[in-house]
Structure 1
């Protein structure tokens, strides 16, 4: 008997309906992984992801000594002066000491920058696209009493949302590497290598030890990341309009990136101090129970100025780091995307 087939096809399987006497047959189709991978490799997201990874790696290779000095000053190890800390590290550990923890720093920064910049670009486009679709549908509004609420969400900044999302996603993904990096930087005797540091943290504090300080990190990351990306995109756009330019040269990108990093770091720096205290506290035998307690402890011991201890070293690190990262990132995007995706 001939069967009348009614095909219902999805991406992964096919259902074939037969007569009452014949049960339905389900044919499983495996996804074309190779094709999906090829499509991703040539996609805009992959180019941005790789550009962020390369930019982060190149920046950290150049600025590792400033990161080492900054971390020691924030957590109160050694000299309180930049020059004094620099000389102390060389005296105790040699020139190699300036790159203490740099291996884990590189392992950390490559996925962090890739995820952060890739997430920022993607979320910014998604929010902008959603706003445009709502606008095309006639700016729908919701009436609540005498109040009309615009559901187009035009008041929301795609840049700010993208910046916040970038900070949250990258932090949740890469925070354990940040914890290990700080332990290696501050105390090489107890934590001589990445693998030993990982095992010791898990043994002493459990897996949760790898996420020490995650809450203050997220709280501090939100204002920093949001302000950082908003400042960069806004200043860059305004400068391009004033100079009637479509693209900026490397020096201009360097300066705009540095200004963005300086502004964001200054606003969120007290939260950074509290975060470092929580992450390193157990090494000194005392760990504040929460971020508020860490801030109170700093104020009690060093006054309000203690909340900005290490700020100068931080700016010396953040400003060139931000500027160089954006300079390399925009350069790599030009190479990898080759003008295939123009905004």
Structure 2
């Protein structure tokens, strides 16, 4: 296996690893979030023209209810569930096991490329900064994580806007092209990045805090266990701890981002 000059894996290997991780994450978490949405729906039914957010661990999906409880092509009218396990059983029995992976295609189309860009950029930036500034710089993961997330969000943002338009109303690809062309003609190319600000407000601080804490916790655990390299459990524990800390500290930004996303969805519905 060839390695990069910095001693890590090559960019191609980084892309394959991050893409595979994103694929497994989406396959594992999507059924859990489908059940969560269905349980929420029976408690507070979604009204026509209103939006709700669906997040399967990799990215948020904005859905708009078209006709009462019939929100999207995959979303069924809520069956009465008594709990999480009961929801799994009834959805599988009455709607088929495929229904547990509803809404997966947009994740595979968008979240996997975004994850590949994000993790590969982070690894390359971290190694580059360490080669220039020395491996002891504690701020290097923070800077690399923030820049990598900034780049990934910027690249994917136009696709997010297009996806929101398609989910807010039934559009053919021809109608979608006309809609985008008219938006660009009226407001310029920057209109494709509308709504990018709230996403950056949450994701950039989260990524900076996550990688900063991840590297610190991983190094501490390696010292405690007297290991030169991190094992799977060390990396897993470091990721869980740093993810929890980053999520708690950036929760206010997440609230703002969610409200802004729903407002944008409501605007698309009114149009």
Name the TM tier (shorter chain): 0.5 to 0.7
Aligned residue pair count: 221
Instruction: Compute the TM-score of the two structures, normalised by the length of structure 2.
Output: 0.64
CA distance in 1, matches of 2:214, 2:175: 36
CA distance in 2, matches of 1:231, 1:158: 11
Q: CA deviation at 1:209?
A: 5.8
* Distance 1:102-1:215 versus aligned 2 partners, 3 A rule: same
Please name the residue that 1:245 is paired with: 227
CA distance in 2, matches of 1:167, 1:109: 13
Q: CA deviation at 1:219?
A: 2.0
Please name the residue that 2:42 is paired with: none
CA contact (8 A) 1:48 1:118 kept: yes
Instruction: Compute the TM-score of the two structures, normalised by the length of structure 1.
Output: 0.52
Please name the residue that 2:114 is paired with: 112
Q: Aligned with 1:246: secondary structure?
A: coil
Larger radius of gyration: 1
Q: 2:245 aligns with which of 259, 263, 271?
A: 263
State the Cα deviation string for residues 82-120 of structure 1 (Å, max 9, x = none): x58x95995998765543331110111221111111111
Please name the residue that 2:203 is paired with: 221
CA contact (8 A) 2:222 2:234 kept: no
Q: Aligned with 1:244: secondary structure?
A: coil
CA contact (8 A) 2:164 2:265 kept: no
Q: 1:56 aligns with which of 22, 47, 54?
A: 22
Structure 1: gaps of 5 or more residues: 1-42, 134-153, 288-343
CA distance in 1, matches of 2:237, 2:178: 41
CA distance in 1, matches of 2:174, 2:100: 20
Q: 2:180 aligns with which of 202, 212, 217?
A: 202
State the Cα deviation string for residues 216-273 of structure 1 (Å, max 9, x = none): 2112222100011112111111101110113344344333222222221222122223
CA distance in 1, matches of 2:119, 2:19: 9
CA distance in 2, matches of 1:95, 1:191: 26
Superposition RMSD on alpha carbons, in Å?
4.2
Please name the residue that 2:40 is paired with: none
